[in-house]
Amino acid sequence: MIDVIGFSSDGKAYGIPSSDRIHTAIFGESGAGKSETMKLLIMQCIKRRQGFMLIDAHGMLARDVLALMPRELWSNTVYINPATALWFNRAISVNPLAYRDEEEKHVVMMSFINVLKNLYADSWGDRLETILRNAVNVLLDSSRDVTLKDIRSFIIDPEFRDSLLRNVTDLDVLHFWYDIFEKNYKREAVGVVYNKLDKVLSTPLAMVMLGSRSTIDIGQCMRDGRFILVDLADVVSDDIVAFLGSLLIHLVYVEAKRSMRSQSSQKSTFDLFIDEAHLFPSFAIREVLNTLRKFNVKVTIATQSINSLPGSIAKEIPALCRTIICFKCDIPTATLLKDLMPLSRDELLSLSLHEFAFYSHASPPVTGVAMSKRITARECNDWLDAARLSVDVYGGDAVLIRRSGSTRMMDLHVNTKTGTSGAMNDQSVMRDGAALAGLDAMADARRGRQRG
């Protein structure tokens, strides 16, 4: 099987064997065609009915993909965008603290702490890590329905903490909370944890997405070959975007670890696409590039310059990504890639618009020069119709009440009881049908209005 990555000027397709395209990095200046190339790879996944997750900080790519999605595949599409709570009073939620069994609990805890550690690397200390690790441990032991809000409550609310510690028998844990924490950490901890978590916890859109029980099981979605589109365009602040994106990457990582333990590694390939990769912490990117290749999860990242990734990971890119696509780029990127590419550094610096050079690690390596291509369809859907069906099938009720015209100032009411799991069941198929009928009615009404 060949993955088409671009075209010649006379329309001939350029591709590389899928088995050689493990991880892919796409570089190039703004407007060069990186997202369009990612879209080309995504459309091939859709054509093959092969599951993927796209993390899109700016939303245009996710919405373009929805518009191009064949209608019969809408019900296979999981559109995660907390702003759907505003549009449809429903949203798809994922709880980063959810786990299925005792072994997974540890992976969830470690991976979650790592996400926070890397997000807050500048001000991270041993004490904060110890407090969070101990808190998350007790919480995960206490229930499988723990959410992010419970971490804050556990640390700042002594009554809530006592109520959970009453069931703890491990003397080390009790010693930590009643002796070490009370005497040495308490005052500082409340401030630190409050600073770190409060911004996220007080952002309603973030809470719609991560603050309640999951309406889907990401692992199940991956195994079922769902098309997961994460659209973060309506999340205003970059650090919240980084937080949400990192936690979704963490969920893919936890699932990959789970499949390693159960020896049932992902049978069919799953693709993880991260557009604007520099917006997400380098740890998350490095970790998925390093770990996921073992699990048949292919990662594709796109960013403007190698310099937008931190130095340590930038130098590793040629080793971590076996396929590299480079549009017209800046000097550091061209300098790092020139020895792999079929073009010199100066030629990489002066590629024409939408033209790229590529390298794919194989024996012998596959290299060439090609063009991106604008993907359009004769008939495009209204992407909002597809989004609505998706949240009807996979989401739960979530109402955001706009208070002062700003998405930062909203009240939130989330009820995920009506959510279904990632696996389609009879009920969800019925709802799917009903939702489609509803959409048809909406479309008819719209056509009627237009005719009128």
Ligand X SMILES: Nc1ncnc2c1ncn2[C@@H]1O[C@H](COP(=O)(O)OP(=O)(O)OP(=O)(O)O)[C@@H](O)[C@H]1O
Q: How far apart are CA 102 and CA 12, in angstroms?
A: 52
Task: Pick one of 190, 373, 384, 397: the residue that binds ligand X (CB under 6 A).
Answer: 373
Q: How far is CA 321 from CA 21, 37, 78, 293, 311, in A?
A: 9, 16, 27, 10, 16
| Residue 32 binding target from ligand X, Mg ion, none, CB below 5 to 8 Å by type | ligand X
| Residue 30 binding target from ligand X, Mg ion, none, CB below 5 to 8 Å by type | ligand X
Q: Which of residues 27-56 bind Mg ion (CB under 5 A)?
A: 34-35
Nearer to Mg ion, 274 or 357 (CB): 274
Nearer to ligand X, 59 or 396 (CB): 59
Task: Pick one of 372, 381, 390, 420: the residue that binds ligand X (CB under 6 A).
Answer: 372
| Burial readout 113-127 (b: 16 or more C-beta within 10 A, e: otherwise) | bbbbbbbbeeebeee
Least gap, CB of 34 to Mg ion (angstroms): 5
Least gap, CB of 333 to ligand X (angstroms): 13
Task: Pick one of 9, 30, 169, 450: the residue that binds ligand X (CB under 6 A).
Answer: 30
Least gap, CB of 77 to ligand X (angstroms): 21
33 near ligand X (CB under 6 A): yes
Nearer to Mg ion, 48 or 373 (CB): 373
Write the DSSP assignment of 282-350 as a string of letters.
Answer: HHHHHHHHHHHGGGTEEEEEEES-GGGS-HHHHHHHHHH-SEEEEES--HHHHHHHTTTSSS-HHHHHT
Least gap, CB of 38 to ligand X (angstroms): 8
Q: Which of residues 339-368 bind ligand X (CB under 6 A)?
A: 354
Identify the DSSP state of 168: -
Nearer to ligand X, 31 or 311 (CB): 31
Q: How far apart are CA 235 and CA 250, in angstroms?
A: 19
374 near ligand X (CB under 6 A): yes
| Residue 137 binding target from ligand X, Mg ion, none, CB below 5 to 8 Å by type | none
Least gap, CB of 175 to ligand X (angstroms): 52
214 near ligand X (CB under 6 A): no
Strand-strand pairing, 24-27 and 323-327 = parallel
Is 157 in contact with 105 (CB distance < 8 Å)?
Answer: no
Q: Which of residues 261-320 bind ligand X (CB under 6 A)?
A: 304
Phi first, then psi, for residue 423 (nearest 5°) are: -75, 135
Write the DSSP assignment of 41-100 as a string of letters.
Answer: HHHHHHHTT--EEEEESSSHHHHHHHHHS-GGGGGGEEEE-TTHHHHHSEE----TT--S
**x/- map, 250-269, Mg ion, by CB under 5 A:** --------------------
Q: Which of residues 408-447 bind ligand X (CB under 6 A)?
A: none
Q: How far apart are CA 208 and CA 241, in angstroms?
A: 13
Question: Dihedral sign, CA of 338, 339, 340, 341?
Answer: positive
Q: Which of residues 154-213 bind Mg ion (CB under 5 A)?
A: none
Nearer to ligand X, 62 or 135 (CB): 62
Strand-strand pairing, 396-402 and 410-415 = antiparallel
Residues near ligand X (CB under 6 A) are 28, 30-36, 304, 354, 371-374
Q: Catalog residues that contact Mg ion under the rule CB under 5 A.
A: 34-35
